[in-house]
């Protein structure tokens, strides 16, 4: 409730039909960096959520409850994993510009 009172939080389910919220408890950027390194070392990309998006074309809404860096982290990593374009120099630059606009907070 405190996050919602501050203009943060998550979307109201009543405003959307046919959705399912999944809160996955994403840790801070330092923990996420270590997790990404481990995932890359183990090539552990067989997650069922990733498969649903890449193979079934499932749509995903990513929203961080406090409005900071986690949303951008998830979206940028997902782009890199799911679309080879974003693994090119040009694609990576596009990802940086669209995911981390210069107006974003440091």
Q: How confident is the model at residue 44 (pLDDT cuts 50, 70, 90)?
A: low
The annotation places the binding site at 28-29, 64-70
Chain segment 4-36, per-residue pLDDT in tens: 666 666 777 788 888 877 777 778 888 888 887
Q: How far is it, in rounded angstroms, from Cα 78 to Cα 93?
A: 15
Enumerate the domain spans of the chain. Answer: 2-99
Q: How far from chain centre, in Å, is Cα 86?
A: 14
Residue 105 in this model has a pLDDT that exceeds 70? no
Catalytic residue check, 75:
no
3-state secondary structure at position 77: helix
* Interatomic CA distance for residues 43 and 38, integer angstroms: 8
Q: What is the pTM of this model?
A: 0.47
Binding site for substrate: what residues are annotated?
A: 28-29, 64-70
Query: What pLDDT does 90 receive?
Result: 95
Mean pLDDT over 40-51 rounds to: 64
Of the candidates 26, 64, 75, 81, the residue annotated as catalytic is 64
């Amino acid at each position: 409730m405190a996050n919602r009172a501050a203009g943060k939080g998550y979307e109201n389910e009543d405003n959307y039909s046919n959705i399912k919220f999944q809160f996955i408890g994403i840790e801070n950027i330092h923990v996420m960096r270590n997790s990404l390194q481990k995932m890359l070392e183990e090539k552990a990309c067989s997650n069922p959520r990733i498969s649903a998006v890449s193979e079934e074309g499932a749509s995903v809404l990513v929203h961080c409850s406090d409005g900071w860096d986690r949303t951008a982290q998830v979206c940028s990593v997902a782009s890199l994993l799911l679309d080879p374009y974003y693994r090119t120099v040009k694609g990576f630059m596009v990802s940086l510009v669209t995911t981390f606009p210069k107006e974003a907070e440091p």
